[in-house]
Structure 1
Amino acid sequence: MASGTPRAVQEPVHLVLMGISGSGKTVLAERLATRLGWPYAEADEFHPASNIAKMSAGTPLTDADRWPWLESMRAWMDLEANAGGTISTCSALKRTYRDLLRQASGRVFFLHVTCDPAVITDRMEHRLGHFMPASLVPSQLATLEELGMDEDGAVLVNSGSVDELVEQALTIVADL
């Protein structure tokens, strides 16, 4: 299998990198998109201005805030289904959010990127140009529902180098 490209699939595969803000989803997704040649979307780009304003002010989003955002993510996945595979980042903190994303055309597979909360907080405190403040890490952790045993997905622990994380993800994707 050259360059980590997965075997041919019968249906589109939508790879959703989930987890709290600062866990490493975006860096991993960008690298995977480059390696796999799949369309990539950063979930933050789908937030309406009102959501960004709330988060910038340190106010956690409600479910009502999240539904339109998640629906637009699912619509993007449907639009890109002809590409054979997509990669997106999305916190997908609750199972009900993942259930909505799973309604996209094709197979939706979640890679839950986890990392030590202290490391995440430190990253977020030093991250420039992002609207999500480190003060929201506790609310994201409180909202997070781990992948269920019956959910199509895997957990990736972000504790090494980015290259190691990419290789772990590519091994998982190759088996899809």
Structure 2
Amino acid sequence: MMLKYIIKDLKETLAYLPYGIMAGAVVGLLLNGLNARRERKGKDTFPMAGLMAFSLYLMIILVITFFSREDGSRIGMDLELFSTWGTNARNHSYVVENVLLFIPYGFICPWAFPWLRGFFRNTFAAFVTSFGVETIQLITGRGYFQVDDILTNVLGAVIGYVIFWLLHHMIQGFHRPDLRR
């Protein structure tokens, strides 16, 4: 039953993909111009693919957490740890969805922003981002401020970071010369 809710909610989220693609395209155009200028000056260029992916992801997060909800539609604060797990499949699905929502964050941030390639930096950035989303939701009434959301978002980001780290080190291993000779 819980999986049914998760699949339904993920399908609804796909409706926001065009907004994310548009944001990624705009950022890509801007970065292309900035990178051409940086190259002419002999400076390092920005990681275009990572930043485009981040802007696509950020737009989807903004639509899901803010723009798809009316002002004042959800008012409240829940500071009790593990209270959102609840007693039914719907509540369980919300917890799983919050983890899934931030897995891309943990993967895309170190790809787009090299200074976030450390585990603790990335985890702290996920915490600050999630805390910011929850705070803005509380202020605008577009979502409940829930400590569990922050915890599950950070857990998702940690999972995403581990995936990034594993892939990054595998790719680096392919590019290193064999040192055993």
- Tell me, yes or no, whether TM beats 0.5: no
Relative to its length, the structure with more helix (as a share) is: 2
Q: TM-score, normalised by structure 2?
A: 0.28
Larger Rg over CA atoms: 2
- Asked which structure has the greater RCO (Cα within 8 Å, sep 6+), the reply is 1
